Amino acid sequence: MALDVLIVDDSTAIRKILLRVLSQTDLTIGDVLEAGDGVEALRILEERKVGLILSDINMPNMDGLQLLTSVRARPDWNSIAVIMITTEGSQAKVMEAVQMGAQGYVRKPFTAEQIKEKISSCLGSPAN
């Protein structure tokens, strides 16, 4: 079954890079949806079911941690795997994201391999 993915980042550059990385995995990727902030992401989630969210933290309007809180508060979204991909690298932020329900955390700058490995470990299937 194809995995639909939502990429949430205010940088179109990062969204393009993640789109490319997803295309390089061995996963069967279905639709890849994009949002520029948490508000737009929630709007997409109301209409589309996805299996994985890759989200930045620092974004305008609604940041990635607020988005994570909203996703975990909805029983029908609670099974979505969420990986935070961000420049926020402090241990406190990592712990906060994990405690709020993020399955993974990747700090920018990243390599394609780091993203693939994190997706693989979060989904329990090889992404490489």
Partner 1 sequence: MESPLTRDEIADLIRANTEKVFTTMLDLPIHAGPVTVQTTGAGEDGGVVSLVGFAGEWSGSGTIRCSGGLACAISAKLLLTDFDHVNDDVLDAIGEVANMIIGNFKDDAAYKLGPLGLSTPTVIYGDNFQARNWNGQSWTTVPFSCEGELFEVKICLVPSHALRGSLRPTGVGG
Query: What is the spatial distance between Cα 95 and Cα 50, in angstroms, rounded to a whole number?
Result: 25
Contact with partner 1 (CB under 8 A): which of 2, 16, 48, 128?
A: 16
Q: Is 110 in the site for partner 1 (CB under 8 A)?
A: yes
Find tokens 């993974």 and name the residue.
104
The angle at the Cα of 95, spanning 91 to 97, to the nearest 5 degrees, equals 120
Q: What residues from 17 to 56 belong to the interface with partner 1 (CB under 8 A)?
A: 17, 20
Question: Helix-strand-coil percent breakdown of the chain, rounded to 5?
Answer: 40, 20, 35
Contact with partner 1 (CB under 8 A): which of 3, 6, 14, 52?
A: 14
Q: Is 63 in the site for partner 1 (CB under 8 A)?
A: no
Query: What is the spatial distance between Cα 109 and Cα 105, in angstroms, rounded to a whole number?
Result: 12
Q: Which two tokens stand for residue 103?
A: 């399955």
Question: How many residues sit close enough to partner 1 to count as binding (CB under 8 A)?
Answer: 20
Contact with partner 1 (CB under 8 A): which of 30, 89, 95, 98?
A: 89
Binding site for partner 1 (CB under 8 A): 10-14, 16-17, 20, 58-60, 87-90, 107-111
